[in-house]
Chains A and B, each alone.
Chain A
Amino acid sequence: MSALDTPAGLDVPRHHAFSRFCRAFAKRPAGLAGLGLLVAFGVLALAAPLFIGDDQLNVIKVDGPQLSPPVDGYPLGTDQAGRSVLLLVIWGARESLSIGLIATALTVVLGSTVGLLAGHYQGWIGKILMHVTDWFIALPSLPLAISLSAVLGQGAASITIAIAVTSWTATARLVRAQTLSVEARPFIERAKVLGAGNTQIMIRHVLPNVMPLILVSSTLTVASAILSEATLTFLGLGDPTSVTWGSMLQAAFLGGAVTAGAWWYLMPPGIAILIVVLGFTLVGRAVEHVLNPRMVGR
């Protein structure tokens, strides 16, 4: 370690790498469109408390018409309690997005740790970890998630955990494969010769090289986590008093909105899910193209 190897000295190439990434990403219109969608939803979700209050969401305070098609003041109609569906969809973005993001963070942390360890320690530790992973892959994820959230109790926390527990395996396998390929490169050998320990190799040398892959994988995981969240709340495993896209769909479905032809109640949460999932998928694809050298030019 020479004195030149300061953190500031490291920052320069990383900064360059980031701006190079941004420039490459900017050349992908689909990715930009996806990012635009996500930013729009993110801003709406974050700003929602500024213009949506308890008066519009609490069933005992609202006074709108019941299950009314779009009219003045209710651009997307109302639900059975007389709440504006538009405001519900915006408010629902908060919980749907936060469950999706937190579940993804958990998934990524869990999957990366397992994958990294399994890739680095290839002896019995790696074997055990991979067997556990295989075991989780073999389990059908929906029934597992349902039984998990049934055991953990209702609510956002248990749904988040259920999603994380059922979706970390793909990340783990992915990270392990990349770890194996990184560790086969000469610079790792060099680090070992220079006396780097296991932790040093994993954190300082392997992890930075696996990171882009984790980033891509996590962007795509968000999409499926949001779908899983909607699925589980639709199946009635969420808190019935909280507003999420899945719970809106559930309330609409059980309340007979299909028979009543209340499209304004059924469609907005569905379309919102579609847009957000599409946004994450587009962004994920673009990031993947930018970061994966083998995909450049495709």
Chain B
Amino acid sequence: MGTSNSRRGRSALAACALSGTLLAGVTLPAGTATATASSSGSAAAASAPSGQGETTLRVKMSGSGVDTLNPFLAFFDGAYDVFAGVYPTLNSLDEQGSPGPYLAESWTQSDDKLTWTFTLRDGLKWSDGTPITAEDAAWTLNLIMTDAVAGTANGSLVSNFESVTAPDATTLVIKTKEPQANVTYVSVPRSGIPIVPKHIWESQAKNLKDYKNDTFPLVGYGPWTLTDYKPEQYAKFDANKDFVLGKPGFGHMVQQSFKSVDAAVAALRSGQLDYINNVNPTQFKALQADKNLLTIQEVGNGWTGLEINYNARTRTGKKIGTGHPALGDPVVRHAIALATDRKTLVAKVRDGLAVPGAGYLPPAWPQWTWKPAPGEETPFDLDQANKILDDAGYTKGGDGVRVDPKSGKPLELRLGIHADDTDDAGISNYLKGWLETVGIKLKIQTLSMSALNSDLAKGDWDLLMDGWTTGPDPTFLLGIQTCAALPKDDGTAGNTDSFFCDEKYDELFKKQLTTFDQAERAKIVGEMQSILYKADVNQMHFNHNMLDVARTDTVTGIVTGQPDAQGMYPAQSYSFWGYLKATPAAAEATAAKEESGGGSALWIGGAVLLLVLVGGGIALKRRSSADDRE
């Protein structure tokens, strides 16, 4: 389901900085305020083949890896994938992104919309045999609410909670300060708060900051039990045969870390790996030809786009940073938008496997999708871009670069891109070419994630490539564009993306939080996206399809949901439902593994590399021998 709100690599780091009131209240589709568990076995995988205790599901660990196994501190996608398997949550999310039962069997909301009562299942046990009670959940949530360290990762999710109590072993009562309809999204697998066993963690609460949580097997509850973990290498799991939402189809699971996706693809091709989530389009198209592989596209749950530093400032309005003053002019920003051909970016950079961007929220969650009205969309029109810049008095200098009439500075802009991102590198080449034709010069700066983040917070940039993914609840992603997300005067606490701050937008943001009608709220969210679109500060380039590959001869059922008419699957909840429902493929399906087309080319490439190395070695060797002879 890809439910995390994560910036590429930046992951949910920003989540901790989310200011307190963002999650004040979110509505659910009508009629789901009270949901009741369907029979617990419904989600279960069908009967697994006998002897499944010996089977192992081998998947690639998320590229970011695991930063820490301490769920109170972790920010990386890889860690969220592990927690989704080994710690329980109050709710699960179904394929449409709606909350379902997990620890909680049912839940009700009081008439004043301030009190939520969850009824927890009876008889569930932690992996060490201790019963799971409401007290575990209450203790976990209270710790995050009261302890700053415990709130590092997920504090913002409970900032509107007044109190959490456990009157008996199966009842959990959550009281909120203001109405908040998305309480059922607070503790969900992967993007929400994992519930930890109180009897294990109580003694660690004081030195939580240093607690690594690496005693194996990890005491938890979920489809899996973590039995071993080596940083940068692997995480090993055993299946929990008594899991309440169904028995995992495999007896064991290994999440293996790979530094390069090509290496993971080679492992997949040679049968050492069963599943990779998120390959690049070139790899995807190459793998489509392989009979042993299932290649699927998910509807994009994120965006890739350009941020413009149009007016970097703090919450009190103090100007910061070194952004180019001309970017404050809407004409320049609109000219940049006019000079960006999104269709070409989709065709060339993502090989056609993406949707040209416009609205701020991604197509994976159609309930929030917004498109500019006909006639309002910004076309690709270099002449028009040139014309509006001419009209606004930006005259071209001798070198073809326009000059800002107000500051007298030439329109030379820095474009920061992620060092390890091929999409960014590709897009920057095209932007540079298009903007050159309208008289704007780009200087590409390849930045590491940490350099990029520190520049962003200080406002020391002009343009940045950026990307975010989001779950079904849009509040977080919308929240990073509010004035409240601007940094404080001391430079802390800001998780803004582009220093965007607009009164009307903020008003609508608050309004949508308290709007309980789904259609009405979608309309408000659409208006917000319209404001963002017209401001040209966050320019969406595309929403790329997520590309997944699985081996058909070793695993079935790892892909969840049904494809639409175009063959696109819904956003995958691979780390929870996918791994849970995956089963070993029938043995007879093991077709002869063909040497795929890339094999010989690899050998040739390797030989060339070897020759170059040997050649270089000879050069060095010769040189040193000449030195020796002196």
Contacts and interface: CB of A to CB of B under 8 A. Distances in A.
**Interaction A to B:** yes
Interface of A: 58-61, 66-67, 80-82, 153-154, 170, 173-174, 177-178, 213, 216-217, 220-221, 223-224, 227, 236-237, 239-241, 251, 253-263, 266-267, 270-271, 273-274, 277-278, 280-281, 284-285, 288, 292, 294-295
B627 A173 contact: yes
B14 interface: no
Interface in B433-456: 433-434, 437, 444-446
Contacts of B419: 236
A251 B282 CA distance: 12
Given A173-B627, A260-B283, A281-B615, A59 B430 contact: yes
Interface of A, secondary structure class, is: helix
Contacts of A288: 626
Contacts of A273: 612
Given A251-B422, A255-B282, A281 B619 contact: yes
Interface string B258-269: 000110011000
B286 A284 contact: no
A37 B199 CA distance: 74
B519 interface: no
B612 A241 contact: no
B622 A281 contact: yes
Contact of B262 (A58, A173, A253, A284): A253
Interface string B224-236: 0000000000000
A259 B446 contact: no
Contacts of A295: 629
29 contacts: A59-B430, A60-B341, A80-B282, A80-B351, A80-B426, A81-B348, A81-B426, A154-B445, A174-B630, A213-B630, A221-B623, A237-B446, A239-B444, A240-B417, A240-B444, A256-B261, A257-B282, A258-B266, A258-B601, A259-B287, A260-B283, A263-B601, A266-B601, A267-B605, A270-B605, A274-B608, A277-B615, A278-B615, A288-B626
Given A220-B622, A240-B417, A281-B618, A259 B422 contact: no
Given A178-B630, A236-B420, A58 B433 contact: yes
Given A251-B422, A254-B422, A263-B601, A81 B429 contact: yes
B350 to A, nearest CB: 10
A116 to B, nearest CB: 15
A261 B430 CA distance: 25
A170 B279 CA distance: 44
Interface residues of B, number: 56
B63 to A, nearest CB: 13
Given A223-B616, A224-B620, A277-B616, A262 B601 contact: yes
B604 A241 contact: no
Given A256-B265, A256-B286, A259-B266, 9 more contacts: A66-B351, A80-B348, A153-B445, A154-B444, A259-B598, A270-B605, A270-B612, A274-B611, A292-B626
Contacts of B124: none
B552 interface: no
A281 B615 CA distance: 9
A170 B627 contact: yes
A3 B341 CA distance: 75
Given A177-B630, A278-B615, A281-B615, A258 B433 contact: no
Contacts of B611: 274
A60 B430 contact: yes
B180 to A, nearest CB: 43
Given A239-B444, A256-B279, A60 B433 contact: yes
A251 B425 contact: yes
Residue from A66, A173, A284, A295 having most chain B Cβ neighbours under 10 A: A66
B432 interface: yes
Given A263-B601, A274-B608, A224 B429 contact: no
B262 A256 contact: yes
A285 to B, nearest CB: 6
B626 A294 contact: no
Interface string B12-50: 000000000000000000000000000000000000000
Contacts of B281: 256
B398 to A, nearest CB: 19
B428 interface: yes
A256 B429 contact: no
A267 B623 contact: no
B422 A266 contact: no
A260 B598 contact: yes
B399 to A, nearest CB: 15
B597 interface: yes
A223 B446 CA distance: 27
Contact of A294 (B598, B622, B629): B629
B605 A258 contact: yes
Interface string B590-630: 00000011111110110011011001101110110011011
Contacts of B420: 236, 254
Contacts of B428: 240-241
A223 B619 contact: yes
Contacts of B600: 261
Contacts of A278: 615
Contact of B282 (A67, A227, A271): A67
Given A258-B605, A259-B286, A274 B623 contact: no
A217 B446 contact: no
B285 interface: yes
Q: Which 10 A-B pairs have the closest CB atoms?
A: A261-B598, A60-B433, A256-B282, A263-B601, A256-B283, A260-B286, A261-B601, A223-B619, A259-B283, A270-B608
